[in-house]
Chain A
Amino acid sequence: MKARRRGLDNIGKKDIQNPKTEVVVSVPAIFSTTVDLEQVLYVVNKSKSSAAKDRKVIIDFANVEIVNAAALALLLSVVNDLNTLGVRVQCKISENTLAKDEIIESGFLEHFTNHLGERTPGKNKIFVKGRGKTDQKRIAEEIRAAMKTVYGAEDFNQPMQGAVVEMMANSVNHAFRRTFKRNAYFINELSKKKRWYLSVVHNHTEQQVYFTFVDNGLGLLQTIRRRFFGRIKEIFDDKSVLQKAFEGEYGSSTKQKERGHGLPTILSAFDKKSLRNLKIITNGCFYSFENQQLDKLTNSFEGTAYFWTLDKKCTYGNT
């Protein structure tokens, strides 16, 4: 997933119809984290910045030609958070939208009602929402189903389960703090709700399952810098900060030695090959655990999003 830095002048110019009450977010032709991550983050940020009381946000998919599951999951997390904040969100899609079938199959439209109050069902109905608590039973059900898609039989995947419980716990305990920075209204209002999302998309033909875990809090990198201020020597080196945090070098903010193993548990699931293709987007950084490469993003992402794949190349936890 290489972030493509394309000019963003072609989107957004005509977006704001009536800034007081209605905002139109135009989704670009290519809405895919693997093809053009910057465009996806532009749409996500624009949607977040639309958060205001009594506002209506229209997400316009009319021109979309290419989508992927991760991009839809990111946007859907924001849609849900906007709904939580009392913002009405509508989705506009036409018969001529080239990516219409993929959008429907993803289950994205199930989260919207048409003018008759009906929802459009999709093959993938899995979008788990957490409300300030961990929900490990529901996560286990999704992982079992994913194991069936890949290996033909339902089973636990213990390292992956442990990793997702750590992600949920991080979201609930650390991700939401009051801020005065970008998207402050959106983040500060959400800090009362502490929501997280897991999207699970099954590709039965390829026997692959794609996971996306998102919270729209402050972002992991910023949270690490806040919690371990004074212990971080590599102040300007985001890659080192992330790597050391996942390797457990900063320990716990309580300075208790037996704590601070949450992020290493996530890394451990990857190291054991219980999941693969693990990536994280947070605070202007896109980091791939596979090739240990960090790309700086033009469009920052306030929040934390993990992406990973389960398929037959995963060789652990699939007895």
Chain B
Amino acid sequence: MATLKISKDFTEYPGARYITDGPFSGEAFFNELLREKFDEALRANVILTVDLDDTAGYASSFLSESFGRLAQEFGVDSVKKHLKIISRQEPDWKDRILNDYIPNASKRQSQAFVNA
């Protein structure tokens, strides 16, 4: 099992959605860390555990951007199979990631495809 603790491996102070919004955005987290770690976990056929605890707090845009992109790039089923979220301090973040940001990211992708 691989682990990624955001407060230690990325920042204690997560920001908003895009790199242009400011430092430590969801987009930066995905580009710099999450994509690579998940890819490694996928190749090794292990589960990547992402621990959200011990940061200052999250904006929804940070979480939806990083985990939404993950699902877009690797597919919803693959992410559901190889990702575990820990969020003891704010359990609703885990719910939102697993029940909203990840499953709805695929809808966005197929919607974009249909529109194209």
A-side residues, CB < 8 A to B, are: 133-137, 139-140, 143, 156-162, 165-166, 168-169, 172-173, 256-259, 261-262, 264-265, 268
Contacts and interface: CB of A to CB of B under 8 A. Distances in A.
Contact of A158 (B23, B57, B68): B57
Interface of B: 12-17, 21-24, 55-62, 64, 68, 89-90, 92, 96, 100-101, 104-105, 107-108
Given A158-B55, A165-B15, A136 B107 contact: no
Given A134-B16, A137-B13, A158-B90, A258 B101 contact: yes
B56 A168 contact: no
Contacts, number: 96
A166 B64 contact: no
Find the residue from B22, B57, B101 having the highest chain A CB count within 10 A: B57
A166 B61 contact: yes
Nearest to A169: B16
Interchain residue pairs A-B with the least CB separation, the first 10: A161-B57, A134-B22, A158-B57, A261-B60, A169-B16, A140-B56, A133-B22, A165-B59, A258-B104, A257-B104
Nearest to B67: A258
11 contacts: A134-B21, A135-B22, A136-B14, A140-B56, A156-B56, A166-B61, A173-B21, A257-B107, A258-B100, A259-B61, A268-B92
B61 A258 contact: no
A169 B23 contact: no
Contacts of A259: 61, 64
A135 B23 CA distance: 7
Given A158-B56, A161-B56, A169-B17, A136 B61 contact: no
Given A159-B57, A160-B57, A258 B105 contact: yes
Contact of B104 (A140, A160, A172, A256): A256
Given A169-B16, A258-B64, A258-B101, A265 B21 contact: no
Contact of B108 (A136, A137, A256): A256
Contacts of A143: 56
Nearest to A138: B13
Nearest to A319: B89
A129 to B, nearest CB: 13
Nearest to B105: A258
B34 to A, nearest CB: 16
Contacts of A134: 15-16, 21-23
Find the residue from A139, A160, A169, A264 having the highest chain B CB count within 10 A: A169
B89 A158 contact: yes
Contacts of B58: 158, 161-162, 165
A315 to B, nearest CB: 15
B57 A157 contact: yes
Contacts of B100: 257-258
A161 B90 CA distance: 12
A264 B100 CA distance: 14
B60 A264 contact: yes
Find the residue from B15, B22, B105 having the highest chain A CB count within 10 A: B22
A135 B22 CA distance: 7
Nearest to B53: A158
A159 B90 contact: yes
A297 to B, nearest CB: 29
B85 to A, nearest CB: 15
Find the residue from A134, A136, A139, A157 having the highest chain B CB count within 10 A: A136
A136 B22 contact: yes
